[in-house]
Amino acid sequence: MSPYRERYHRDLKELKNLTKDLADRGGEAIDKSVLALVDANVDQAREVIKQDQEMDDLSLKIENLCMELLALQQPMAKDLRRIIGILKIGIDLERIGDLAVDVARVTTQSQNKIQITKLEYIPRMAEISKKMLEQSMEALMNSDADLARQVTKWDYEIDGLYVKARTKLLKIIIERPDVINEGTALLMVNRHLERTGDHICNICETIVYMVEAKREHLN
């Protein structure tokens, strides 16, 4: 194999590694942002917001490498799907990071007034989302379409928790109009985590496409 092609294959492998790194950072951001919310830890929430720039920079690095490979290598078939797929996954991962930041901002803006109820459903949603991200990256690294499909099954639990949390929060807002601002903020957090699950399902759909060259609606 020529040195030119060797570099090409190294770059393809590097794309996967960078994408996994971005996903790991996204999972950590979700975890930290919800922990900050539960503990009313403004400093930790600010840390999540600050680290978002690192995720943005990594996302841009992935995008630039994808564009370079598309322009210089003109890949075909499976390699083309892989590069285009990584581009799409990067967009979903960047959005997951943005949603984690949105959760963190609720904590920084709440002035410790957000604890109107025990947050029993939201932490579980974050826990599932992080697990889904980890398993989706395992599917990506191993080109495992079946695992990608299995990951999306967890989204049903996230959706169920979302409905339970929304119902509970709306009941509190109706009964206690004085906490409408805090309740509304928590409703937004609940929605952000539900959307995170959707983005992970998008990632899994992309992995199936990369591996099997077919599109499936998994969410």
Q: What is the pLDDT along the chain (219 residues), one digit of tens a residue?
A: 566 677 877 888 999 999 999 999 999 999 999 999 999 899 999 999 999 999 999 999 999 999 999 888 777 888 899 999 999 999 999 999 999 999 999 999 886 666 667 788 999 999 999 999 999 999 999 999 999 999 999 999 999 999 999 999 999 999 998 889 889 999 999 999 999 999 999 999 999 999 999 888 887
CA dist 9 and 7 (Å) reads 5
Give the residue from 202, 172, 208 showing the smallest Cα distance to 187: 172
CA dist 178 and 54 (Å) reads 38
The answer to whether residues 101 and 49 touch, using CB atoms and an 8 Å cutoff, is yes
Which one-letter amino acid corresponds to residue 79?
Answer: D
Q: In 10 A of CB 48, how many CB atoms?
A: 25
pLDDT, tens digit (0-9, with 9 covering 90-100), for 74-92: 778 888 999 999 999 999 9
CA dist 193 and 188 (Å) reads 9
Domains of the chain, each with CATH number or no CATH: 3-212 (1.20.58.220)
In the chain, what percentage of residues exceed pLDDT 70?
95
